[in-house]
Amino acid sequence: MIRGEYFDGRSATGIEATLEFGADGAVHVHGAVVPLSFPLAEVKISERIGNITRRITLPNGGVFETPDNDAVDEARDALGLQRGSSIVHWLESRWQIAVGSLVVVALVSIAFLHWGVPAVAKWAASVMPVEVDRAIGTGTLDVLDRVAFRPSKLPDERQAGLTKRFADMTKPLHDGHEYQLEFRRGGLIGANAFALPSGIIVMTDELVKLAKNDDELISVLAHEVGHVRGRHALRQMLQAAGVSALAVALLGDVSSISGVLSAAPALLHAKHSRDFEREADAFSKQWLREHGIAESNFDAILCRISGSHGVSHSAKSEGKEKDKFDYFSSHPSTTERAQCPEEEVAKEESEPQPEAQSEAAVEAEYEQSAPVEAEPPIDTPLDE
Amino acid sequence: MNENPYESASPAAPASAPEPQTRVLLPFEFRGNGGEYFRIWIVNLLLTIVTLGIYSAWAKVRRLRYFYGNTFVDGHSFDYHGQPLAILKGRLIVFFGYVVFVVASQKYPLAAIIIALVLMVFGVPWIIMRSRKFQLRMTSYRNLRFNFHGTYGGAMASFIGWYFLAVITFGILFPIWVRKRVHYSMDNAAYGSQPFSFLTGNGTYFKFCLIAFFGGLAVYLGVIFSFFNLPDVEEAMRLGGIATTGADMLLAAGPTGWALIAGGGIALLGIFGYYQASAANAAFGGVQAGSQYLRSNLRSWPLIGIYVSNLFAIVFTLGLFYPWAKVRQLRYQLENTAIDSDGNLAAFTASSGEGIDAIGEEVGDFFDVDFGI
């Protein structure tokens, strides 16, 4: 006997009733105006979820409702009824299963964020026309000119010389991008260079002054070309969309957190950004090698730029700290990217091996995606 | 909470009620808990991943049944009857429609933009109408179904027509648009044979929309104006010129400036909470079904407290707090909603055509698909 309430489906009036799974294979409801009996096969028992009211639907349109889930389960088991449908409830009622599920869901999500999202974004970018990049970059330089830059004070001959070398570098690339070099005074931004997705590369006067020779500047320009060529701005946007999609799929239906979900991509922005920096570094170094320019030029200017920005890389402990919080900085630490002269000996003692491997791996990946017509790739690690 | 909700029902005699008999306030109650929902949620996610997304339709049914089934009023819970296959069908239609659209837009980009716009204007009201119908028809209480009689034309007028009117009047009619959408959802609903009416008037909507808009604007402008007039900030801007960054100014501003910004942020949050609470109160508090009236009494600051603490908890637990957050939010909303009743909820009857022959089964209409998320 299971105690509950009977609703006939014609009015909202409930009648206190009991339900019994008879030994004769019938279901009896006692308490209604007339005693009711139905064949077991025509009765539908709702699935158990948590401890919500159980609903036993009868063929006359009536429903027997009971809070006594355990009694219904016992009766059902005794009759050997649909054990299969309660498997999900079995899974849902155990904390061990919940923790196990959590581990699997977390691992799959992390793997998806780490490999899946970048891979899908890379593929999606590859099927999109180059015009998309141009559309993303439209107007950006105007905005930067208004808020950050001031007109360059470099002599015209100097500008012309660098523009010539830049054109020599970008002409043979034939990747659909229209490369263009612009000079600006950086002001507070200081010595730096920027790539806009449309192919415009901006170099500050301060950077030109900081360089000891033009090869150093060319190595920086090659790095920026690497950003444009790798379509990093577009891929960054696509990856952000992918991260949002995952966040919505996992946590989508709470209204109060929709604001946080839209910020979710920002959490991974720095990590993706650093991956792109490494890719651009790899392109620059490869280009330098293919054109007989020493890669040390890139290392030298990089170290000097971060020095000029007040980043100290003499303290070894700081470099290690940075690696630990790798998910939070937008650029890889300079000690990882380049061998700064003062530090060379100290570094080799600590951990030269993993560093060389990671650089080589990034480079191999890049060559697969964007082969440059030149010598075969060199397998030796970069930082010898 | 209370074992017997009748005990917690307190008599109330609103001045507006013409009936001489005593009226009671029957509060809603949520009996689920975060730990239980956590296990349901995580198993749902696991099975969805393992089945490459197919299970998500079953997951939705379990999730909704858990929430409906734990929502009690007058000692009885609601139930959700949506069938996973109907939900799966809706999702597949949307998914394949989207794929076809993306592929076609590669070839005919201009046509794709036009089709997308047409779909937005003419398709969205249809989807809203169908989803609302599905949602209400799949909901039962005491073995009586809810229903929805809204028409496509009605959805078109309230969601699209009033939107355009609001836009061309520079937002002056925005409150009416907000009300029209709720009116469409509520006024066309029914429980059994009893149609619902929506009583909240335009005045209420104009009032809270205007307070929220001008309140927000005043706080925003006030903070910006006072901040830039702080002597230290002015000094920093004079020195840094056009290249002064927000960070520079913040550094220069010092504690006074920080307090100003923090105070402005809190005030804006409060206004956001005021809008959310007022909108919910206006929407739910305006529903009448025969001699039963819904009452909604959400308050701005508790609501904001729940929003903000949920947000921080979810972020700091990397999403793990989500099930508890959802339960907390729902519990607050439900516990501040009640039925102002003549005490006779059992008097509702099924509509003709329903009842004996509607064996609790779903109607096999092809368009009985769920497009909701």
Q: What is the mean pLDDT of residues B151-166?
A: 92
Return the DSSP state at B349. B
Residues of B in contact with A59 (CB under 8 A): 359
**Type of residue numbered A350:** S
In angstroms, the CA A167 to CA A29 distance is 89
- B311:A97 CB<8 A: no
**DSSP sequence for A164-195:** HHHHHHHGGG-SS---EEEEEE-GGG-S-EEE
- A260:B242 CB<8 A: no
What's the pLDDT score for residue A310? 58
Environment class of residue B237 by beta-carbon count within 10 Å: exposed (0-12), middle (13-18) or buried (19+)?
Answer: middle
Closest Cα in chain B to A144 = B243
- B358:A256 CB<8 A: no
What's the pLDDT score for residue B280? 92
Closest Cα in chain A to B359 = A61
pLDDT surpassing 70 at residue B321: yes
First to last CA, chain B: 31
- A7:B346 CB<8 A: no
pLDDT in tens, A199-255: 888 888 888 888 888 888 888 888 888 888 888 888 888 888 787 777 777 765 544
- A14:B142 CB<8 A: yes
| Residue B307 contacts A where some CB pair is shorter than 8 Å | yes
Q: Which of A181-185, A263-267, B275-279, B367-371 has the lowest mean pLDDT?
A: B367-371
3-class SS of residue B337: strand
pLDDT surpassing 50 at residue A85: yes
- B43:A91 CB<8 A: yes
CA distances from residue B307 to A259, B171, B299 in whole angstroms, order as listed = 10, 27, 12
Which of B143, B193, B245 should be substituted to probe chain A, the one whose Cβ sees the most A Cβ atoms within 10 Å? Answer: B143
* This prediction's pTM: 0.73
pLDDT surpassing 50 at residue B157: yes
Residue A317's pLDDT band (cuts 50, 70, 90): very low
Q: Dihedral (C-alpha) A102, A108, A111, A112: value to the nearest 10 degrees?
A: -120
Q: Which of A9-13, B100-104, B220-224, B353-357 has the lowest mean pLDDT?
A: B353-357
ipTM associated with this complex = 0.77
Residues of A in contact with B39 (CB under 8 A): 92-95, 97-98
- Of all residues in chain B, the percent with pLDDT exceeding 70 is 84
Residue B293's pLDDT band (cuts 50, 70, 90): very high
- A254:B32 CB<8 A: no
In angstroms, the CA B21 to CA B347 distance is 15
pLDDT in tens, A327-341: 455 677 776 777 766
Residue B245's pLDDT band (cuts 50, 70, 90): low
In terms of Cα–Cα distance, which of B343, B147, B142 is closest to A8? B142
pLDDT surpassing 70 at residue B171: yes
What's the pLDDT score for residue A238? 85
Q: Å from A327 to nearest chain B CA?
A: 14
In terms of Cα–Cα distance, which of B5, B16, B2, B7 is closest to B288? B16
Which of B3, B6, B42, B77 should be substituted to probe chain A, the one whose Cβ sees the most A Cβ atoms within 10 Å? Answer: B42
Residue A265's pLDDT band (cuts 50, 70, 90): low
In terms of Cα–Cα distance, which of A64, A62, A43 is closest to A54? A64
Q: Å from B330 to nearest chain A CA?
A: 9
In angstroms, the CA A323 to CA A295 distance is 23
pLDDT in tens, A13-67: 888 888 888 877 788 888 877 888 888 888 888 888 988 999 998 888 889 999 9
- Higher model confidence: residue B38 or residue A344? B38
In angstroms, the CA A63 to CA A15 distance is 11
Q: Å from B292 to nearest chain A CA?
A: 14
Q: Which of A67-76, B89-98, B146-155 has the lowest mean pLDDT?
A: B89-98
Q: What is the mean pLDDT of chain A?
A: 75
pLDDT in tens, B9-66: 444 444 454 555 688 999 999 999 999 999 999 998 899 888 888 888 888 889 999 9
Which of A102, A257, A258, A267 should be substituted to probe chain B, the one whose Cβ sees the most B Cβ atoms within 10 Å? Answer: A257
Q: Å from A112 to nearest chain B CA?
A: 11
Residues of A in contact with B345 (CB under 8 A): 12
In angstroms, the CA B365 to CA B360 distance is 15
Closest Cα in chain A to B325 = A254
Which of A10, A43, A51, A52 should be substituted to probe chain B, the one whose Cβ sees the most B Cβ atoms within 10 Å? Answer: A52
In terms of Cα–Cα distance, which of B129, B191, B211 is closest to B341? B191
Q: What is the mean pLDDT of residues A142-164?
A: 85
- Of all residues in chain A, the percent with pLDDT exceeding 90 is 5
- B329:A254 CB<8 A: yes
pLDDT surpassing 60 at residue A382: no
Contact in structure between A242 and B314 (CB atoms under 8 Å): no
In angstroms, the CA B296 to CA B339 distance is 9
pLDDT surpassing 90 at residue B239: no
Residue B78's pLDDT band (cuts 50, 70, 90): very high
CB pairs under 8 A between A and B: 157
Residue B141's pLDDT band (cuts 50, 70, 90): very high
- Higher model confidence: residue A292 or residue A340? A292
- A256:B307 CB<8 A: yes
Residues of B in contact with A97 (CB under 8 A): 39, 43
